[in-house]
Amino acid sequence: MSRPHGIPLPRAHRSSDSHQPESAFDDDEQGQPRPREGVRQLTGAERVRTLVESNASVSLTLPGAHDQGEWWTGVPAARTATPDGDVLLLVPGESAAARAAAHAQDDDLTAVIEITDVAPVSVPHRIRGRAWLAGWLTQVPAAERAACVALLAERRPVGGLLGLDSRPGWALLRLEVGEISVDDLWGAEHVDPDELAAAEPDPLLDHETELLQHLAAAHRDRVADLGSLLGPRQDGTLTAVPLALDRLGLRVRFSRPGAAASSSFDARFDFPAPVRDVCGLRRAMHHLFAAAGR
């Protein structure tokens, strides 16, 4: 697919530093730690798919729907990705998006959704990443509505989404994705829409917020002990906050008491093997804590 005309997506950039020290992350010019090369991580498509399926905040912008000279921007009530890589969006029936999509055909209506991921714990530089998905917006045909609503409800079973779409106040839209950009804790890159269709969300997606908050509240000392795995160059007292969690490992943001926020750094602690569920995560965390206590 070609890029939807008139929708600016952020340019991807990556650090050119390929040196691999004990800590796997650097600070960029904005102060946000970035990964060095060679660190095991989710693919860009997996990260975007996880954000699409997450509870991170999202906005929908229509460059062609102007309100006093500005692009129209609204907030979908729910969203999910289809097996084909499209994104389903539940929006208010009287919104500009619903009205415009009701009359759109094929590539008539361009749109972009922006997803902003904020850490569920208090840390410097709390925004963990953003993803942008641009494409063409249409209304889901009546013949496909029931299947699409069921797919949406699988991700958002709470709140009666199965009933929302049958009410006049809501509309179900489809974004046919033509271009994807992500800028997050792992760096910035463009993602092929076909890769998004094939990607699966991280299996810890639905548990990450609760688990990080639990680690920060009840096990902060043990998380700080992980600093001992970074080697003697990290001498001195470090405070540690668990920042991100996925099937491959735990990311921790370290800082020194009283130091400037820009002096914080990240370290990634890989699990012995990818975890599939919370039970596997418990075993992996036990392994990490045991290694730090030796």
Tens of pLDDT along 46-97?
999 999 999 999 999 988 655 444 456 788 988 999 999 999 999 988 888 8
Residue ranges of alpha helices (H) inside 190-294 are 193-198, 208-218, 220-225, 278-292
- Say if CB 252 and CB 212 are below 8 A apart: no
Looking at residue 176, what is its pLDDT?
95
Looking at residue 12, what is its pLDDT?
40
CA distance 200 to 192: 14
Q: Give me the phi and psi of 8, to 5 degrees please.
A: -75, 125
3-state SS class at 149: helix
Q: In the structure encoding, which two tokens stand for residue 93, read together?
A: 């029936």
Residue 274, amino acid: P
Task: Determine if residue 242 is left, alpha or beta; phi over 0 gives left, psi from -120 to 50 gives alpha, anything else beta.
Answer: beta
Domain boundaries, the chain: 43-198, 208-292
Q: In the structure encoding, which two tokens stand for residue 112, read together?
A: 């972009």
Q: Which residues of 10-35 are buried (b: 16+ CB within 10 A; e: fewer)?
A: eeeeeeeeeeeeebbbbbeeeebbbb
Looking at residue 65, what is its pLDDT?
57
pLDDT tens by residue, the chain, 294 residues = 444 444 555 444 333 232 222 334 444 433 444 444 456 799 999 999 999 999 999 999 988 655 444 456 788 988 999 999 999 999 988 888 898 898 887 678 999 999 999 999 999 889 999 999 999 999 999 899 989 988 888 876 544 454 555 556 889 999 999 999 999 999 999 999 999 999 999 999 999 999 999 999 999 999 999 988 887 655 557 889 999 999 999 999 998 776 665 678 899 999 999 999 999 999 999 999 999 887
Q: Which CATH number fits domain 208-292: 3.20.20.60, 3.50.50.60, 3.55.40.20, 3.20.180.10?
A: 3.20.180.10
CATH number for the domain formed by residue range(s) 43-198: 2.30.110.10
Looking at residue 85, what is its pLDDT?
94
Looking at residue 105, what is its pLDDT?
77
